[in-house]
Amino acid sequence: MEAAAFFDGARLTLARHLAGLRKSDLASLVDKSPTAVAAWESEAKRPTAATVAQLALSLSVDPGFFAVRPEDIAALSTTPHFRSLRSTSQLARDQAFAYGQLAVDIATSLERHVEFPESDVPTSPVSVDDRDGDGPERAAQFVRKQWGIEAGPAGHLVRLLENHGILVVFSPPHTASVDAYSFDSRLRPVVILNPIKCDYYRQRFDVAHELGHLVMHSDAEPGGRIVEDQAHRFAAELLMPADQIRDLLPATMGGNVWRSLARLKEQWGVSMQALLYRARWLGRLSDVSYRNAMTTISVRGWRRNEPGLVSAIEQPSLLPRAVELLMQEGIEGTQLIEQCRVPPDLFRTVTARTPDNGLSEPFASSNSKRRTGGRVVSLLERQRSKPRETARE
């Protein structure tokens, strides 16, 4: 059996994480010991052909999924930057990281046929011990200069990242408990966007925030408050450069200030809440005025649903366009999926322009959005049973 002869333990780990399983869970499914699973994953032992078939059936993947790849993506990747380590279990984080690795795997496979932009992410490390320095602001200014972003509002951020070799994809809808996250690899940096947060203005800030991690935090421990604050400051400066927006921000909350904020929101592509926070940070707005403004935001129900003219979020196009071009050349989607040797539904999700893409994509899926209440469910195509509870920290 080919899959047994070329079995890669890292691929078993990837499949297990995609399925949201611990080693003991998988061991129970195949009637083996957790020690045996650990040995297969570390490649201390090689499973028999019959065991590989059993593993594939239990994990809902083709046996070819376990075949060795040109690169071990997990070994080449940095630890992902998640927003909060306390709000998500290790099981959920492992699954999210595995999904990002799978996205890189698919992109690498497609690159055999289509040329993608070279990775060109400026590096400007900022120490996590630097609480009060202007490192994040200088890093954002450096990126704007290096990438040739003209003065004024930044354009289509997702396209900007893709043009500089960053892979941007949406995560599956039932993993929405994990917010946007990012990680780097020697193959390609990755930004994974939350599929539920369908807000143009907030999404742009998320993209800028994750770019900040890629630029500043290649060696930083993820999830800390200082690291997250630095990424927020980077995003604010990238989207609203201080020297360009300071004099446009409100100094008081009287008169027609809300109308002015609404206009600035549309001009700069950021939320009114981000503008208010920026005004406070830059010393234009007092703490009292800021708190009163945020109270008004809450009373009007704008915390989660601000009014705005743009309803369509920015869409990734690197992978979707590659698939479209190949299909035009007569290479069918089924051939690409077979080459990648990944579950079809996950291929469709990774290469989609929009989250939970419905029937509009070339690989239309009939799967509907599932509410999981924070539980970890398998990302692999055929569901085995009820969703699993997340592991306790």
Q: Tell me if 165 sits within 8 A of 189, measured CB to CB.
A: yes
Rounded average pLDDT over 348-373:
58
Give per-residue pLDDT as tens, 257-287.
Answer: 999 999 999 999 999 999 999 999 999 999 9
pLDDT tens track for 375-387:
788 888 554 444 4
**How far is 252 from 255, CA to CA, in rounded Å?**
9
Angle in degrees, CA 362, 364, 370, rounded to 5? 145
Cα four-point dihedral sign 211, 212, 214, 220: negative
Could you tell me which of 293, 264, 277, 270 has the C-alpha nearest to residue 233?
A: 277
Nearest to 96 by CA among 28, 172, 148, 42: 172
- Is residue 82's pLDDT more than 90? no
Do residues 5 and 66 make contact, with C-beta atoms less than 8 angstroms apart? no
**CA 172, 178, 181 angle in degrees (round to 5)?**
90
Span 70-96, average pLDDT = 84
Residue 217 predicted with pLDDT over 90: yes
Q: Which of 9-18, 62-71, 80-89 has the highest mean pLDDT?
A: 9-18
Query: What number is the average pLDDT over the span 298-311?
Result: 93
| Percentage with pLDDT > 90 across the chain | 71
Give the global pTM. Answer: 0.90
Quote the pLDDT of residue 173.
80
| 198 — pLDDT class (breaks 50, 70, 90) | confident
Beta strands in 200-305 (DSSP E): none
CA distances from 236 to 81, 93, 281, 294 (A): 18, 26, 10, 18
Report the distance separating Cα 181 and Cα 93, nearest Å: 10
Burial of 189 (0-12, 13-18, 19+ CB in 10 A): buried
pLDDT at 213 over 50: yes
Residue 243 has a pLDDT of 97
Confidence of residue 392 (pLDDT cuts 50, 70, 90): very low
At 363, the pLDDT band (50, 70, 90 cuts) reads: very low
- pLDDT at position 3 is 63
Residue 193 contacts by C-beta under 8 Å, 6 or more apart in sequence? 168, 169, 170, 171, 180, 203, 206, 207, 355
Q: What is the mean pLDDT of the chain?
A: 89
The whole-number pLDDT of residue 330 equals 92
Residue-range domains of the chain with CATH = 1-68 (1.10.260.40), 71-239+306-393 (no CATH)
Residues 34-51 have a mean pLDDT of 95
pLDDT score recorded for residue 73:
86
Identify residue 370 by its one-letter amino acid code. Answer: R
Average pLDDT for residues 186-205, to the nearest whole number? 92
pLDDT of residue 368: 38
Exposed/middle/buried for 271, CB within 10 Å: 0-12, 13-18, 19+? buried
> What is the pLDDT, as a whole number, of residue 356?
65
pLDDT of residue 357: 40
Cα dist. 290→207, 233, 297 in Å?
25, 17, 10
Q: What pLDDT digit, counting tens, does each position of 142-187 carry?
A: 999 999 999 999 999 999 999 999 999 999 887 767 889 999 988 8
C-alpha distances (whole Å) from 356 to each of 45, 109, 216, 298, 311 are 39, 23, 31, 29, 16
Q: Is the pLDDT of residue 240 over 80?
A: yes
